[in-house]
Chain A
Amino acid sequence: MSVLAALRHPVFSIAFTVVCYAVALALHRRWRWVPPIVAASVPIVTLLLAARIPYADYNRGGNLLTWWLGPATVALAVPMYRNGRRLKRSLPRLLLVVFAGAVVGMTTAGGTAWLLGAPIAVAMSAVPKSVTTPIAVEVARELGGIPQITVALVILAGVLGATFGPAILAIFRVREDRSVGVAIGSASHGIGTASLVRRSELQSAVSSWAMAASGVVTSLLAAALALLLRHAKL
């Protein structure tokens, strides 16, 4: 087997991806400003381009990693249950807020892209951009979007919230723990939630509940939308 053939083997793509991820984590631990997802992806793209390996070949292995986003979605039930239990009495209110956020997020993301001339598949890719990656990917597929674009937007929405979220909220005098938590969880999912850990325990608990809840609400709304679209076409 030639070296190039070995590079195309699914086992190699998985192993190489895991190694790049481990190195990226180490770099991130050393220099906090290095985003792990970028540090992990750049060497892979570079190798594929240099060795002229088509993405589809790499992705025969890559797909096996992507598949685990499904069980990861299921795993979100754990923080949702764990944090939901201690927020019991606020839950109906928080759910209302999450619902409003999901409706606003989906319509403004898809609507803005569409009004600015993006093709429908690209606009649909933007629709789930506020929610956690595994759910966003499922929703994008359901709506006929392009999951790769969705992932990029999801990451950027997370970084925006982690970097500027609490400061923007403070300008509008939103400082109370539950309000900050529900806003960051709804707008910036896991990446935003992780940034709250050092600020306040209650904020990060609410945020981690909200990120799971808004993922669920968004996918339910998208399912209804997908049904409607299918119906309208017939």
Chain B
Amino acid sequence: MFDQARGLALLVGFFLFGGFLHRVGVPIPGGVLGLLLLYVALTTGLVPLAWLQRAADLLLRHMVLLFVPLTVGLMDLGRVLSRQAFALSASLIVSFLAVLLTTGLLGRWLVAVLPADAEAAE
């Protein structure tokens, strides 16, 4: 319990700090700033992974709950959605395939072309 509370407090703290930096002029969204700062803090050992692991897993595992309210908001957008249904579906499928194949093929090429490394297992 204490473990999770400490982890959540840290995540909220980094988020608020990121939001603060965003408001004073850094053009990156607050959440992403918080992510980058936390990544640096983890890499430098400033914040030990053990403090955060359980809280982060909790939030990420139940992330679907957090975007239920936005999904419910689609109820007000029926008109836009039906009028733009074709453009949105086409955009979704074209872009999905484009990203999947760009990254998959480029990834395969880079893995084959450059010398292999054996970090596969911990």
Contact = CB atoms under 8 A, between A and B. Distances in A.
Contact of B63 (A72, A78, A86, A224): A72
B5 interface: no
Interface in A89-148: 89-90, 93-94, 96-98, 100-101, 104-105, 108-110, 112-113, 116-119, 122-123, 126, 129-130, 133-135, 137-139, 141-142, 146-148
B65 interface: yes
Nearest to B17: A74
Contact of A174 (B63, B65, B93, B108): B108
Interface centre among A17, A94, A97 (most CB of B within 10 A): A97
Contacts of A12: none
Interface in B26-81: 27-32, 34-36, 38-39, 42-43, 49, 52-53, 55-57, 59-60, 62-77, 80-81
Given A75-B11, A122-B88, A90 B69 contact: no
B98 A105 contact: yes
Contacts of B82: none
Given A55-B75, A100-B103, A212-B35, A75 B59 contact: yes
B106 A97 contact: yes
A40 B68 contact: yes
Interface in B67-117: 67-77, 80-81, 84, 86-88, 90-108, 110-111, 114, 117
Interface of A is mostly: helix
Contacts of A90: 111, 117, 119
B111 A223 contact: no
A145 to B, nearest CB: 12
Given A66-B67, A80-B39, A202 B87 contact: no
Nearest to B62: A21
B100 A161 contact: yes
A234 to B, nearest CB: 15
A210 B103 CA distance: 10
A15 interface: no
Contacts of A87: 119
Contact of B87 (A81, A113, A177, A212): A113
23 contacts: A20-B68, A21-B64, A21-B65, A40-B65, A49-B75, A62-B70, A62-B72, A72-B60, A73-B31, A77-B34, A97-B107, A98-B103, A117-B87, A118-B87, A146-B80, A147-B73, A149-B74, A168-B97, A176-B111, A178-B107, A210-B103, A216-B32, A219-B32
Interface of A: 13, 17-18, 20-21, 36-37, 40-41, 44-45, 48-49, 55, 58-59, 61-63, 65-66, 68-82, 86-90, 93-94, 96-98, 100-101, 104-105, 108-110, 112-113, 116-119, 122-123, 126, 129-130, 133-135, 137-139, 141-142, 146-149, 151-153, 155-157, 160-161, 165, 168-169, 172-174, 176-180, 182-184, 186-188, 190, 202, 210, 212, 215-216, 219-220, 223-224, 226-227
Q: Which 9 A/B pairs are nearest by Cβ-Cβ distance?
A: A62-B69, A73-B31, A179-B107, A183-B104, A109-B95, A116-B87, A78-B56, A138-B29, A75-B56
